[in-house]
């Protein structure tokens, strides 16, 4: 009998193979009380386990294929650096000494403390970094338990791996040993494992709860990584159809690569700007591969994480100039730190003191943090302005709510410019300053914000969540996350119209800009600037350059006026067929 499983598709592609069900023993983290004499030996035991876990990661890094994208090693390096970080290498040792407990209990205590910090972050990408913390701690716990970290991979060739979760190191070893794809019970779109699967081109889906209870090793599986669909023991006809789809997908990928140097212009002559969102410097390599017009969103939060001291002005400056050199004259849009309510900033250190916000999404985050701590804001602004002398860039202010915030931020920017002028430091005095449209109030009053800003950038991820009052990471309510909700479309259209009336550019940098189901809707609403992860750009380009805005516009207007699901689906089909 054929069984069907639905999950979250995180890496496009099709796979056919036998199941390899990966079972890892749950490590016992029961707290044990130690005597004072036992503490030094327990500290040495923990340090040795960390050393072994690091050695395993170094081995995984060395197994990365030479022809693989050069940014892949960054994911393994992240885990290596985390093992070197004092939060995992020193703090658990301090806990062992203070609590007189075993290493497993100390690691678990530190895991719980870090989970509270990451769990209160509103930025979805940063919140999912707790997955990396868990992967690293679990690796150390497995060494403490039995001396092993990474599961042997000799049986993975041509098979679809079924697991509770996979680390980036596991994923690299799977690819190295020829695994056809993987399915996990946990995880999300933005986990490092999911991102790595997309980079390596491994079909994958996540979030299939308890699948290991229903699938046995050796069973024939088919995996559709785009739709998030897994079939166990499919019929002959199902296998025949999937093989046909697999062949067509490979041809489609070859065809998309032919678009790299093709101008981004619709069939009726609308010129488009297709930018890339980047997180870390390594994303620039992916950006170059698809010939993006520039960077529409550079998230700078990583400069502040996994460290005790705030990044210095010079650290900011070096990072930005390095990116500018790589872009070779293309525009760089730097979003100032969108840090959340989970951290208390002091001039010299980042700490987690004080109670966490009851609702971080509504708390001290984004521009609110920057205005609340002007010294932190000014340090980053000085570096950005100094870097503007090295290449074209613009400043993007996150999480705006009021025009007063814009005026206050612009006053600080002017003050920093004045200081740099007095110091004789070169910068571009005409650096553009834009604002994120993530809060419904800003979208509704977009015409007022457009009077004070040089450009607007719509962040649909937060805009949709705030408009519909749902958390899309929450399994219990994420079914309500609806980019086609009439209210959402009207807010987007109102913002685009406000920008056009003010004569300033409007970019959209949320997930909608990378989803080929919705990009023609955005085109019909009047959008011509899109910013997305680099690996989505060619598919988006293909959809847009084969469309006519004049043809899809009327269906988009109808879409804004209906909340009927069937009618929405019918209109969306028409839009994407035109």
Active site residue 192: yes
Q: Which of 25-29, 68-72, 185-189, 443-447 has the highest mean pLDDT?
A: 443-447
Output the average pLDDT for the chain: 85
Lowest mean pLDDT among 358-372, 374-388, 399-413, 436-450: 358-372
Spatial CA neighbour of 53 closest among 31, 71, 27: 27
Which listed residue (192, 316, 370, 542) is catalytic? 192
pLDDT at 497: 98
To which H or E segment does residue 333 belong?
strand 331-335
Q: Which residue has the higher pLDDT, 501 or 202?
A: 501
pTM for the predicted model, two decimal places: 0.70
Q: What is the pLDDT of residues 273-298, one digit of tens each?
A: 999 998 765 578 888 889 999 999 99
Lowest mean pLDDT among 51-65, 228-242, 532-546: 51-65
How many angstroms separate the Cα of 251 from the Cα of each of 183, 254, 257, 536, 541? 24, 5, 10, 17, 17
Active site residue 494: no
CA-CA-CA-CA dihedral for 207, 209, 211, 213, to nearest 10: 160
Q: Which residues contact 70 (CB under 8 A, 6 or more apart)?
A: 282, 285
Does the pLDDT of residue 68 top 50, yes or no? yes
pLDDT at 361: 64
Phi, psi dihedral angles at 334 (to 5 degrees): -100, 115
Question: What is the rounded CA–CA span in Å between residue 118 and residue 485?
Answer: 30
Architecture of domain 3-23+151-242: 3-Layer(bba) Sandwich (3.50)
> CATH topology for 36-146?
Enzyme I; Chain A, domain 2 (1.10.274)
Does the pLDDT of residue 304 top 90, yes or no? no
Q: Quick one: pLDDT band at residue 369, thresholds 50, 70, 90?
A: confident
Q: Which of 124-133, 200-209, 388-397 has the highest mean pLDDT?
A: 388-397
Question: What is the rounded CA–CA span in Å between residue 52 and residue 261?
Answer: 46
Pick the CATH number of 264-577 from 3.20.20.60, 3.40.718.10, 2.60.120.260, 3.90.550.10: 3.20.20.60
Mean per-residue pLDDT, 205-222: 91
Q: Quick one: pLDDT band at residue 172, thresholds 50, 70, 90?
A: confident
Does the pLDDT of residue 127 top 70, yes or no? no
pLDDT at 492: 98
Phi, psi dihedral angles at 531 (to 5 degrees): -135, 130
pLDDT at 450: 98
Lowest mean pLDDT among 121-125, 151-155, 245-249: 151-155
Spatial CA neighbour of 27 closest among 100, 107, 131: 107
Residue 125 tokens, joined: 């990408």
Answer yes or no: are the C-beta atoms of 458 and 506 closer than 8 Å.
Answer: yes
Does the pLDDT of residue 489 top 60, yes or no? yes
Q: For the chain, percent helix, then strand, then coil, each to nearest 5?
A: 50, 15, 35
Spatial CA neighbour of 343 closest among 398, 312, 306: 306
Tell me if residue 438 falls in helix, strand or coil: coil
Q: Which residue has the higher pLDDT, 76 or 419?
A: 419
Question: What is the rounded CA–CA span in Å between residue 57 and residue 169?
Answer: 6
For the chain, the structural domain boundaries read 3-23+151-242, 36-146, 264-577
Q: What is the pLDDT of residues 501-554, one digit of tens each?
A: 999 999 999 889 988 999 999 999 999 999 998 888 999 999 999 999 999 999
Spatial CA neighbour of 71 closest among 392, 335, 326: 326
Q: Are domains 3-23+151-242 and 264-577 of this chain identical in fold?
A: no
Q: What is the pLDDT of residues 71-105, one digit of tens each?
A: 556 667 777 878 887 778 889 999 999 999 999 89
Which listed residue (101, 509, 542, 556) is catalytic? 509
Answer yes or no: are the C-beta atoms of 277 and 260 closer than 8 Å.
Answer: no
Burial of 97-108, coded b for 16+ CB within 10 Å and e otherwise, reads beeebbbbbbbb
């Amino acid at each position: 009998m054929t069984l069907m499983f639905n999950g979250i598709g995180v890496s496009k592609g099709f796979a056919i193979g036998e199941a390899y069900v990966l079972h890892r023993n749950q490590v016992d983290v029961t707290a044990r009380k130690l005597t004072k004499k036992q503490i030094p030996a327990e500290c040495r035991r923990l340090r040795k386990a960390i050393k072994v876990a690091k050695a395993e990661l170094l081995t995984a890094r060395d197994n990365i294929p030479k022809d693989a994208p050069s940014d892949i090693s960054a994911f393994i390096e992240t885990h290596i650096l985390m093992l070197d970080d004092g939060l995992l290498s020193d703090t658990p040792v301090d806990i062992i000494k203070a609590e007189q407990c075993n290493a497993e209990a100390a690691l678990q205590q530190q895991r719980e403390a870090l989970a509270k910090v990451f769990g209160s972050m509103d930025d979805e990408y940063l919140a999912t970094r707790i997955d990396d913390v868990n992967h690293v701690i679990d690796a150390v716990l497995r060494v403490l338990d039995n001396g092993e970290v990474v599961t042997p991979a000799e049986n993975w060739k041509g098979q679809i791996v079924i697991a509770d979760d996979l680390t980036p190191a596991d994923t690299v070893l799977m690819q190295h040993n020829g695994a056809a794809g993987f399915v996990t019970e946990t995880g999300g779109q933005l986990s490092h494992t999911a991102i790595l699967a997309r980079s390596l081109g491994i079909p994958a889906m996540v979030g299939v709860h308890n699948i290991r209870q229903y699938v046995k090793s050796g069973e024939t599986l088919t995996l559709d990584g785009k739709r998030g669909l897994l079939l166990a023991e499919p019929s002959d006809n199902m296998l025949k159809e999937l093989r046909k789809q697999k062949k067509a997908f490979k041809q489609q990928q070859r065809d998309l690569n032919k678009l790299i140097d093709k101008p981004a212009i619709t069939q009726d002559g609308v010129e488009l700007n297709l930018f890339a969102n980047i997180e870390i410097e390594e994303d620039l390599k992916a950006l170059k591969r698809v010939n993006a017009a520039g960077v529409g969103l550079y998230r700078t939060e990583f400069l502040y994480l996994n460290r005790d001291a705030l990044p210095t002005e010079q650290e900011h400056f070096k990072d930005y100039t390095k990116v500018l050199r790589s872009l070779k004259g293309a525009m760089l849009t730097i979003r100032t730190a969108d840090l959340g309510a989970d951290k208390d900033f002091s001039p010299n250190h980042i700490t987690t003191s004080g109670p966490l916000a009851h609702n971080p999404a509504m708390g001290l985050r984004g521009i609110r943090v920057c205005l609340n701590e002007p010294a932190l804001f000014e340090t980053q602004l000085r570096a950005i302005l100094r870097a503007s002398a090295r290449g074209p860039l613009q400043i993007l202010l996150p999480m705006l709510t009021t025009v007063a915030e814009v005026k206050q931020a612009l006053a600080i920017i002017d003050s920093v410019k004045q200081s740099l002028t007095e110091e004789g430091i070169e910068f571009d005095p005409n650096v553009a300053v834009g604002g994120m449209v993530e809060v419904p109030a800003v979208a509704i009053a977009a015409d007022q914000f457009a009077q004070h800003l040089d450009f607007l950038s719509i962040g649909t991820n937060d805009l949709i969540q705030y408009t519909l009052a749902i958390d899309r990471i929450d399994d219990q309510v994420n079914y309500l996350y609806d980019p086609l909700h009439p209210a959402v479309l009207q807010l987007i259209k109102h913002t685009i119209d406000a920008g056009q009336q003010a004569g300033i550019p409007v970019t959209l940098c949320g997930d909608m800009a990378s989803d080929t189901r919705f990009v023609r809707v955005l085109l019909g609403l009047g959008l011509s600037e899109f910013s997305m992860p680099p690996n989505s750009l060619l598919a988006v380009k293909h959809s847009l350059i084969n469309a006519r805005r004049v043809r899809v516009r009327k269906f988009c207007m109808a879409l804004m006026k209906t909340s009927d699901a069937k009618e929405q689906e019918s209109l969306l089909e028409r839009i994407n067929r035109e």
